[in-house]
Every structure is written in C-alpha cells, then in structure tokens.
Amino acid sequence: MTTKIIDGKLIAKKVKDEIKTEVAGLIDNNDSTPHLVAIIVGDDPASQTYVASKEKAARSVGITSSVYKFPTDISEEELLNTIDFINNDDEINGLIVQLPLPEHISVSKVIESIDPEKDVDGFHPINVGKMVIGQPSFISATPAGVLELLKRYKIETEGKHCVVLGRSNIVGSPLSILMSKKSYPGNSTVTVCHSKTKDLSSIIKQADILICAIGSPQFVKADMIKPGAVVIDVGIHRIPADNEKGYKIVGDVDFEDVRRETSYITPVPGGVGPMTIAMLLSNTLLSFKKKHDS
C-alpha cells in the first residue's frame, strides 16, 4: 500500500507564510498589527519553552507578542485583575494563559475571565458552546490543526467512520464534535473512545479515520488498523532511547509499525505538533480582523 506521510511542518510553514503576508498587508495599509499576549505563572521549564516558541513564532509572522510572567505565589485575585486589564486593552487581540497553573488558582475561573473575543486558545465555555452548535468561534489550536491537515491534504471525511481515541476537553472532545459537523472536514460518523471503552482494538479496527489523543506512547499497533485508514497522531511523548540525547519523541501510534497499513499518517514529531502554534497565530489574526471589520 502506498502511504502518504502528512507533513505538518510543511503545512504549518504554509499557514504561517500566509499569515505573514496578510500581516504585512496590514502594515502597508498603515493599520495596526495583531497583538498576542501570553501569561505564564511559575517557572515550569516545559511551559517556559512553549511560551518562548509561541512568542518566537508570533514575531516571525509580524504579530506583536508580549509575555506577562508571574511568580508561583501570585494570588488568584491579582491574576484575574491582570486578565481584566488585558481584556480592556483595545490594542490586544489575543490572550492565552499557559497551563498548568498553581493549585491555589482555579483554572476554570481564569479561563472564564478571559474575554471570549480574545480567547484565541478557544477554551472559554462561550467559544466551546459556539463550536458545538456550529456558530463561528475560536476553535482551539490543536483540533484546528488536525482539521487543517485533513483539509490541505484533501482527505475525504464525508460518510467515513472516524474513531477518536480520547475525550479530553482540549483535544478528543472538540475533535469528535468537529468531525461530526455538517461541514468539511466533517460529516463523519464518529465514535469516541476512552479509558472505560470495552474492546478498544475492535473499534479501532473499524476506523476509516483514526485520531489518537490518549497520551499513551506507541499504544496503537499495526494489527489494530483497518488497511488504508487515515491515522492522525496527536500524542507527544519523550521516551528513553539509545542515542546521543538519551531520548526520542514518539506519539500515541507506533509509527514504524503502523505506517505500512495506512493511506495517510502523521509522523511524530513533525505532524500535528507544528500545527498547534500555526493555528494559534491564525486565531490571533482572525480576532484582529473581527475587531477591525466590525
């Protein structure tokens, strides 16, 4: 079987190039430029890295980027006041709060305090609700990245059986809803699987499109796959390896084992991962345009 590798790095670059061209056009027209703010609390190294790469990517396309850094012991009230201040700043189009937050701060309170019009992560209940009923909204970046890959590779989704592994609020649930929507990509018949699902292998075997977001390294093997399936791997894990770094990055899918059974597959790294930041920037530009068109 011929397998096509879905090149997320390439598509993410295309998306960013398109954003860069559009932002350059705004500058030529003497408009202001989109502005993305990230809030980070504490010194978790992974969070610092994520925020730094978001900042770098924003600047690379001409989007203004600012980072508000706070110590772990910031009070919830002070954080909420900062969010309120940013909500009221007309020059800011997108606001993201890097998770996780320290235990004394309520994540839901923080997310709900972000102006839904600036919620470019698409986590606010208003944006989630609009997504569910098919109204224009910010779709959170990772699910949006998966849809964009399907679209750019013109993968047929209508009438297909799409199996989504995982039901988290940020990946599995939104993807299961989006894939069932009366739209493209969408119009699929969707099955959602989770830790309580019985006979998981036989359900995976029925998938024309398999989306994996279970957070378990190399969980999906070749003998679970329907020949010719499209496999989208959202998982990211660092596992020990006998190389210079001492580790390698893998997904929820055992890529080398599974690839030969598939028609399309995303690699890890280089598949869904690079799309997440690209779609965050796309949401920031969208927020800017919504404000300036209204």
Interface contacts to ligand NAP, rule CB under 6 A: 142, 165-168, 170-172, 193-197, 200, 213-216, 234-237, 272-273, 276
How is residue 140 annotated by DSSP? P
Closest alpha carbon to 167 in 227, 214, 223: 214
In 10 A of CB 111, how many CB atoms? 20
Residues acting as catalytic residues = 54, 98, 121
Burial 113-150 (b: 16+ CB within 10 A, else e): bbbbbbbbbbbbebbbebbeeeeebbbbbbbbbbbbbb
Closest separation in Å from C-beta 111 to ligand NAP: 15
Residue (123 or 288) nearer to ligand NAP, CB: 123
Residue with smaller CB distance to ligand NAP, 80 or 249: 249
- Tell which residue, 172, 163, 231, 233, has the closest CA to residue 199: 163
Is the CB of 95 or the CB of 171 nearer to ligand NAP? 171
Rounded to whole angstroms, how far apart are CA atoms 81 and 65?
20
Distance between CA 14 and CA 163 in Å, rounded? 28
Nearest residue to ligand NAP on Cβ basis? 168
Q: In angstroms, what is the minimal distance from the CB of 120 to ligand NAP?
A: 15
Phi, psi of 64 (to 5 degrees): -70, 135
Cβ-based nearer residue to ligand NAP, 26 or 236 = 236
CB 217, min distance to ligand NAP, A:
8
Residue 186 has what DSSP assignment? -
Distance, in Å, from the CA atom of 197 to the CA atom of 194, rounded to the nearest integer, reads 5
CA distances from 55 to 59, 62, 65 (A): 6, 11, 6
Indicate the residue among 86 and 211 with the shorter CB distance to ligand NAP: 211
Least distance between ligand NAP and beta carbon 271 (Å): 8
Provide, rounded to whole angstroms, the least separation between the CB of residue 189 and ligand NAP.
19
Q: What is the rounded CA–CA span in Å between residue 204 and residue 223?
A: 10
